[in-house]
Structure 1
């Protein structure tokens, strides 16, 4: 991703997950609320879940030439993937600036004394760095802000953020919420199947998986995240076998606290996979998420994955 840059025309938060004013907050003016949770849009948390849990989602940016769009706000998934496949030149992505993060922190500091920002892997983006540096530009001096490098992305990150937000809703102090987030991050298991790694390769996001790209003979690669970097696991001969690999992977865990199925352009496959996974985890509690435009730029259409939070 590009280095942080100013995007003055872009608002800080996803529509539908906006911040309440102090007068709207529970308990009236002057009442400090529970720990506020911030994440970035690569977490792919469904908007209704973010709204319910009070998660503040900061949209990153995708650039088609001179046109700049907020991830998850300005483009529908269908329109983004249509443009992605139609353009010969890969769009670029960028994060927000430290100054913009500072504005977000200062706004939330009107409601709380404690903020936790959980960001995507620093191996994949400068977002963690920008969020950390943003603390230096805050005007509020009585609000504690902590920033975590999750070493994750997509719904692996999303499940960690959801776990932290649920703990924050209990009224737990910041240190306890951090402990929950760090524990969850260490127990995330993720696999993703691709039709091709071409978008991953072109976006420079595959690390050791570079060795996978040369002569794939139309095989379907399976990747995971290791130390915050995309890492190859295996290859399957057909799409059906790749999806079966995802099912077997998830089914290999006996204790599961949370689960998500994520797709770029194949909702039907995602729903079918959720149905199949209903034998090991209540299907009504399996999140089905769409890969947003920033990560979609690097993963490409056809990406399908499963993330789970293993029980302790």
Structure 2
């Protein structure tokens, strides 16, 4: 049986080189007239430094079919089959790019639409790795990843409304009132898109809302799970992890944590915390 390479895009927020046998293809991030490769020529730290200083929101561009073709060709030359686990088709043209490129390698490249982003995409890559290590072939892995994606929950609490205002998702007046009242929007990925789940007043209530959502849904700790944060430090996430210890301590010794980059960070700004898991 052919060896299997897992390919994903940088919206998964998996650092390049983190997992053997996983290739991360970068999206492009543009500030004004300067374009960077997410995670390659622009680290998450550099991204937030620029985001905080910038008056205009940056834009992110999908991975092109040509970029995927190059990665798929390298895998084929190495005798590997490919499973591409990519950003939600509702959020980006990256999935269509991967499909277009896959047509050049019939039977060798299989594309799974995660219908998710950031940590919710990352844990599906981790699930694909697990299936690969169990000996499944590439087509079966892609099928199983898509078959389980409806169980994936990605939920986050925002620290500021400023970036929703900058992106035109809420009005200036709504943002101003929200900041005065210390409103923390709670968002989640639903049907492949980021939507508002609710809102809380103050960080403590935001944390409580997140804990309640996890408890009500039920976390399958036997499956991949992850927490993440936007911005330059993880202190808000560390507080949430301490507050929510009764939820996870009986099941696992520690929680995997990652930094959330440009794809979602552009829209939510620094200070957000998020969890991704498979529902029980």
- Pairwise TM-score range, normalised by the shorter structure: 0.7 to 0.9
Q: How many Å separate the matches in 2 of 1:165 and 1:261? A: 19
The answer for the alignment partner of 1:293 in structure 2 is 262
Q: Post-superposition shift, 1:88?
A: 0.6
Q: Structure 1 residues 246 and 299 mapped into 2: Cα distance closer, same or farther (>3 Å)?
A: same
Q: Aligned-pair RMSD on alpha carbons?
A: 2.5
Q: Tell me if 1:261 matches 2:261.
A: no
SS across alignment from 2:143: helix
Unpaired runs of 5+ in structure 2?
none
Please give the per-residue CA displacement for 1:143-186, whole angstroms capped at 9, x wherever unaligned.
52121221100111111110011111222112321233123312
The answer for the alignment partner of 2:185 in structure 1 is 221
Q: Post-superposition shift, 1:219?
A: 1.1
Q: Structure 1 residues 142 and 193 mapped into 2: Cα distance closer, same or farther (>3 Å)?
A: closer
Q: How many Å separate the matches in 2 of 1:76 and 1:255? A: 31
CA contact (8 A) 2:110 2:139 kept: no
Q: Structure 1 residues 72 and 233 mapped into 2: Cα distance closer, same or farther (>3 Å)?
A: same
Q: How many Å separate the matches in 1 of 2:215 and 2:15? A: 24
Select between 293-302 and 270-279 the one with higher mean Cα deviation: 270-279
The answer for the alignment partner of 2:247 in structure 1 is 280
One of 28, 43, 61 as aligned partner of 2:12: 43
Select between 151-160 and 272-281 the one with higher mean Cα deviation: 272-281
Q: Tell me if 1:149 matches 2:149.
A: no
Q: How many Å separate the matches in 2 of 1:300 and 1:101? A: 29
Q: Structure 1 residues 135 and 142 mapped into 2: Cα distance closer, same or farther (>3 Å)?
A: closer
- Residues 57-96 of structure 1: pairs in structure 2 closer than 5 A: 57-96=24-63
Q: Structure 1 residues 107 and 249 mapped into 2: Cα distance closer, same or farther (>3 Å)?
A: same
Q: How many Å separate the matches in 1 of 2:100 and 2:275? A: 32
Q: How many Å separate the matches in 2 of 1:115 and 1:194? A: 35
Q: Post-superposition shift, 1:262?
A: 0.9
Q: Structure 1 residues 254 and 290 mapped into 2: Cα distance closer, same or farther (>3 Å)?
A: closer
TM, length-normalised to structure 1: 0.78
Q: How many Å separate the matches in 1 of 2:174 and 2:112? A: 32
The answer for the alignment partner of 1:28 in structure 2 is none
The answer for the alignment partner of 1:101 in structure 2 is 68
Unpaired runs of 5+ in structure 1?
1-31
The answer for the alignment partner of 2:134 in structure 1 is 170
Q: Structure 1 residues 46 and 76 mapped into 2: Cα distance closer, same or farther (>3 Å)?
A: closer
Q: Post-superposition shift, 1:300?
A: 1.1
CA contact (8 A) 1:84 1:91 kept: yes
For these two proteins, the number of residue pairs brought into alignment is: 271
SS across alignment from 1:89: coil
Q: Post-superposition shift, 1:33?
A: 4.0
SS across alignment from 2:247: coil
Select between 272-281 and 56-65 the one with higher mean Cα deviation: 272-281
